[in-house]
């Protein structure tokens, strides 16, 4: 039975297996890679587009109930990571 969550980037729903779980720790977003951190989680597709979109929409502060001061550096770095470029079609 797949657990379905909504991506903060593209707003589509997907199985959590395809999504990256993130939680807020002391006003900072951290990636919950092992899916074991407590607290409110929010989800985003692990690709550049969805990460960038979610940041542009300032979706994290709202989703994690932390407000606009939430530090999203981790996600900004991830969204710039070249590792994620493979999910995009160039050209």
Q: Quick check: 21 binds Zn ion (CB under 5 A)?
A: no
Instruction: Verify binding: residue 16, Zn ion, rule CB under 5 A.
Output: no
66 lies in the binding site for Zn ion (CB under 5 A): no
Number of residues that bind Zn ion (CB under 5 A): 5
Helix (H) or strand (E) holding 41: strand 41-45
Using CB under 5 A, which residues numbered 28 to 47 contact Zn ion?
45
| Structure-derived torsion over alpha carbons of residues 30, 31, 34, 37, reported in degrees to the nearest 10 | 30
Interface ranges with Zn ion (CB under 5 A) = 7, 9-10, 45, 50
């Amino acid at each position: 039975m797949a657990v379905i969550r909504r991506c903060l980037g593209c707003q589509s729903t997907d199985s959590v297996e395809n999504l990256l779980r993130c939680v807020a720790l002391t006003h900072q977003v951290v990636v919950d890679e092992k899916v074991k951190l407590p607290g409110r989680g929010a989800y985003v597709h692990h690709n550049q587009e969805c990460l960038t979109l979610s940041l542009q929409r300032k979706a994290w502060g709202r989703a994690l109930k932390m407000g606009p001061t939430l530090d999203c550096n981790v996600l900004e770095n991830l969204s710039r990571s070249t590792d994620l470029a493979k999910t995009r079609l160039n050209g």
